[in-house]
Amino acid sequence: MSDKKLVLDNRLAAAASFVREKSVVSDVGTDHAFLPVSLIIAGKSSFAVASDINKGPLERAVSSAEKYGVSDKMEFVLVGGIPDEECGKHNVTDIVICGMGGELIEKIVSSSPYAQKSGVRLVLQPMSFAPELRKYLCFAGFDIVNEKLCKAAGRVYTVICAEYDGIKREYSEAELTLGRKNIENREELFTEYAKKTIKKLETQIKGKQSGGIDCECERGLLEKITAVIEE
């Protein structure tokens, strides 16, 4: 194994923090495979399945593994979505999906039987549509065990850690929008995260008002989120 150091950006570092010790990880949409390579170098993961739907990113992933001397501890799969067969073969414990829209992440998770296997952890970092992803997870029987906020390129993102137990959960509108765990944790970035949500809602309300469209739903949610911040 190489002694070269691999430093992750804030988004990937936040995701890596939710991956469990002594894990076998599947990195879906791996691109350069920086996340699984760093986990192996750190000794946090013993093996990784790196997958991508495109050949180019997977070739970059292979190059990264070779550069850092961890090729023997990784398998590379050209596939869209979670590689269920390879996950089963290697007894993957933690599945990471970063840098995609929440709707695409939902589609990937919902089409994978392995994602619903007992004891498997999902680490999800949506670039957009986080409320919709939370709603799907709650309805589909996933427990959102934690969330973590991170900032990259001037934007605040959330990383969602979830595990399947088959129990459907009810979240309030504010909890779906901001994340119940984010509300509970009140991290340093929480206020900024919430205020950007408020700004987006205000823009939506203004747009609907100018078009003569009813915006009571947005107004109600705005009031609820404002109340959460002021608690």
Q: How far apart, in whole angstroms, are the C-alpha atoms of residue 69 and residue 63?
A: 10
Judge whether 133 and 105 are in contact, CB under 8 Å: yes
Q: How far apart, in whole angstroms, are the C-alpha atoms of residue 158 and residue 124?
A: 9
pTM of the model: 0.94
The pLDDT score that the predictor gives to residue 1 is 61
Q: How far apart, in whole angstroms, are the C-alpha atoms of residue 129 and residue 134?
A: 9
The pLDDT score that the predictor gives to residue 139 is 97
The pLDDT score that the predictor gives to residue 208 is 87
Residue 218 Cα distances to 55, 95, 155, angstroms:
42, 34, 22
Judge whether 144 and 160 are in contact, CB under 8 Å: yes
Judge whether 80 and 60 are in contact, CB under 8 Å: no
Q: In what order do the strands lie in the sheet with 121-128?
A: 74-78, 45-52, 23-28, 94-101, 121-128, 155-164, 142-152
Query: What residues in the chain have per-residue pLDDT under 70?
Result: 1-4
